[in-house]
Structure 1
Amino acid sequence: MSRHTDPVPHLIAPDARFQASFLVAMAEFRALGHGGPDDGSTAGVCLREYGDRWEDPEVFAEFVERFRTPCGPDSLLRYDVPCSTFWYVDGDTYLARIAIRHRLTPYWLELGGHIGYDVRPSARRRGHATGMLRAALPIAAGMGIDPALVTCDSTNSASLKVIEACGGRLEDVRDGVRRYWVPTTPGRRG
């Protein structure tokens, strides 16, 4: 496999060529307890659905295709709204995932917002979440989303710093979930 040499971390569509790095990242999530039957996180769903068989390149390619499918019965995450998922990578290394939901239902308005993300445990506290969210905002703007609702648990101080660094303005806190509106167009961001 040839080394991919982009100068900085960037967003891409999920790609099977990142299989080795992605699987190491998922092992990191599993080590933190993700993947159990009650884990509704994206990492949890991926681990339950494919974690015991995605070492096979053909199975991983199927996983990637389902992960890239924005909605419907073939989508791995089965969101009730169209959703575009991107991976944040550096060279050949998978760092993180970000999802942009194209519209909000009452559920997503209350709890999840337009944008959700996670960073692999070994890549945290290096500015990747902030860089990734900043890179995703123009994509959201291109989808007609402005501002974007981004939420985090009140106890997640790292995520609230990321959202605020990207111009997020706190609307309120509901049942322990902080709800921020983040401008997606450059003239509106702080």
Structure 2
Amino acid sequence: MAFLTTPAVDYRDSYLKALSEFQEEGRQKEIASAELASNFTSFVQQLRTQADRNKLEPGQVPCSEFWLVEGNEYLGRLLLRHELNERLRQKGGHIGYAIRPSRRKQGYGKLILKHGLEQAKISGLKRVLLTSDKNNHSSRAIIESNGGILEDIIVVEGWPSPVCRYWISL
């Protein structure tokens, strides 16, 4: 059974394979996989400290990262932002998630968001904002199936697609 966990070195090989899948579809190209492979312990530590406001750059918001795993396999990630800045109110929201390409269309998107909403509630949030590109029908269906109520569709300067903004009450 798949579950959320904090990032861990134990999932290194599976994470790196998932990164390769994302890069093959043109995403996360800015990450140098060879460098990441050799510094994976530091990478994991960095992810774990993003929730500490004292260790963030100005303008960044505290964020907890969780990984969806099943057995030893990394399936995807969820970002839980503990607060919003103006940019995140337009695009990004409180929760962002991604499922590795080879594991999509298997119910993991719905599951990772369900678990993420539970984490948001534990964190003390009463209501969360999620965003999706208007043409990302799969993501919109996942958000709506988890109780998302569409507030509006906006144009974000510099972003190629209109953005749907959903709220979910916890």
TM-score (norm 1): 0.80
Say which SS state the counterpart of residue 54 (structure 1) adopts. Answer: helix
1:95-110 to 2 correspondences below 5 Å: 95-110=75-90
Post-superposition CA distance 1:110-145 (Å, at most 9, x none): 111100011100010111011011011121012221
From 105, 111, 125, give the equivalent of 2:91. Answer: 111
Q: Equivalents in 2 of 1:30, 1:107: separation in Å?
A: 25
From 85, 108, 119, give the equivalent of 1:128. Answer: 108
From 1, 20, 29, give the equivalent of 2:22. Answer: 29
Distance 1:134 1:79, change over 3 A: farther
From 29, 33, 37, give the equivalent of 1:55. Answer: 37
Unaligned runs of 5+ in 1: 1-7, 37-43, 185-190
From 163, 167, 170, give the equivalent of 1:181. Answer: 167
Say which SS state the counterpart of residue 105 (structure 2) adopts. Answer: coil
Runs (4 or more) in structure 1 with deviation over 2 Å come to 71-75
1:81 alignment partner in structure 2: 61
1:17 alignment partner in structure 2: 10
User: Contact 2:93–2:131 (CA<8 Å) still a contact in 1?
Assistant: yes
User: RMSD value over aligned CA atoms?
Assistant: 1.9
Indicate whether 1:154 and 2:154 are aligned: no
Amino acid of the structure 1 residue aligned with 2:132:
C
Distance 1:157 1:78, change over 3 A: farther
TM-score (norm 2): 0.89
Amino acid of the structure 1 residue aligned with 2:36:
W
Residue 35 of structure 1: CA displacement?
3.5
Matched length:
163
Distance 1:120 1:64, change over 3 A: same
